[in-house]
Amino acid sequence: TMRESYASENDSGFKCLKPDLRPIVVVGGHGQLGGLFCRLFELSGYTVRKLGSQDWERADELLSDAGMVVVSVPINLTEQVIRKLDHLPEDCILADLTSVKSGPLQAMLEVHPGPVVGLHPMFGPDIASLAKQVVAYCDGRNPERYQWLLEQFQIWGASLNRISAVEHDEGMTLIQALRHFTSFAYGVHLAEEDPKLEQLLALSSPIYRLELAMVGRLFAQDAQLYADIIMSSPQNLAMIKRFHRRFGEAIAMLEGKDKAAFKQAFGQVESWFGDYAQHFLTESQGLLRQANDATHR
Ligand code: NAD
């Protein structure tokens, strides 16, 4: 399979597109995502150095001959860490892996006069390979200088998605912040209601089991990362508040036993989804059949 062929390529190493690149310094390289990229760069034959939180005393030494610097520190520290990178070699590429893009990209452009690119790998550190994974990127400055990097990601199996930092962050407000927050709130609700999870699962149809899994998996991950993602911008809070308001309006409909209003709203959403509503019904039937097979194996 595709996955296996990428995994075996991993063992033997990947083609190196920029063999003459000076060392790559990954700031936060001992962390989860930074560590993953360090391994991938090393497997491709690049010289990799890690600049951890205790290493700033020798930062000048680590950075003086860097060919590329990749920032991968906790979101809330990202911009202050970027601001320390004001003495990089002029031709050094400055990049980051942060889940939000506008602030870090702006900070990188301000601190470094050379090539700059913002990256957002749309996956966590637990993946087996980059096959079919998406990396979103935001052009910063001198894109011709880092085209090889984007091609290197493609060699690792990733597909690339170019987007402006503003559009990226707007999309992430819905795709990440609101979604993670509703999972968080549902998790808090479940924990307080304290139902017997085994019994719930025994009563669950596959779709509910899947929904529960989507919520439960959040709490197997890093609280700090999700707090940072959800609280990364005021527009996230504004979006969550609009959702909260609509939730309240829908409850008022229930309190008024207003089935006509419910049906009218239902129809509006149905027409907003358009052809996708039917498409999603069919698609989810297929996914549920697979999930059902997997859990009863
Ligand atoms: P992490 O906590 O595992 O790693 C962060 C690393 O940065 C740690 O090793 C920490 O010691 C180090 N660090 C902290 N302060 C530092 C400093 N001042 N100087 C140098 N190093 C410092 O976090 P992570 O999950 O790997 O996330 C890192 C970045 O990757 C974040 O910007 C996050 O948005 C992004 N990201 C993470 C995921 C994910 O699922 N984990 C997915 C996409 C993007």
d(CA 227, CA 223): 6
Instruction: Identify the band that residue 296 occupies on the pLDDT scale cut at 50, 70 and 90.
Output: low
Q: Which two tokens stand for residue 55?
A: 């290493």
**What's the gap in Å between 23 CA and the centre of ligand 1?**
20
Task: Identify which of 33, 40, 102 to mutate to test ligand 1's pocket (most ligand atoms within 8 A of the CB).
Answer: 33
Q: What is the pTM of this model?
A: 0.86
- Distances in whole angstroms, Cα of residue 260 to Cα of each of 246, 253, 257, 263: 17, 9, 9, 5
Which DSSP letter does residue 173 get? I
What would the pLDDT profile of 54-92 be if each residue is shown by its tens digit?
999 999 999 999 999 999 999 999 999 999 999 999 999
Which ligand 1 atom minimizes the distance to the CA of 75? 32
What would the pLDDT profile of 212-243 be if each residue is shown by its tens digit?
999 999 999 999 999 999 998 899 999 999 99
Of all protein residues, the one whose alpha carbon is nearest to atom 1 of ligand 1 is: 31
Nearest to 51 by CA among 21, 12, 81, 95: 81
Of all protein residues, the one whose alpha carbon is nearest to atom 18 of ligand 1 is: 53
Residue 11 pLDDT more than 60?
A: no
Residue 115 pLDDT more than 80?
A: yes
Residues 6+ apart with CB under 8 A from 49: 23, 24, 25, 26, 29, 62, 66
Using the CB atoms, write b or e for 259-279: b if 16+ within 10 Å. Answer: eeeeeeeeeeeeeeeeeeeee
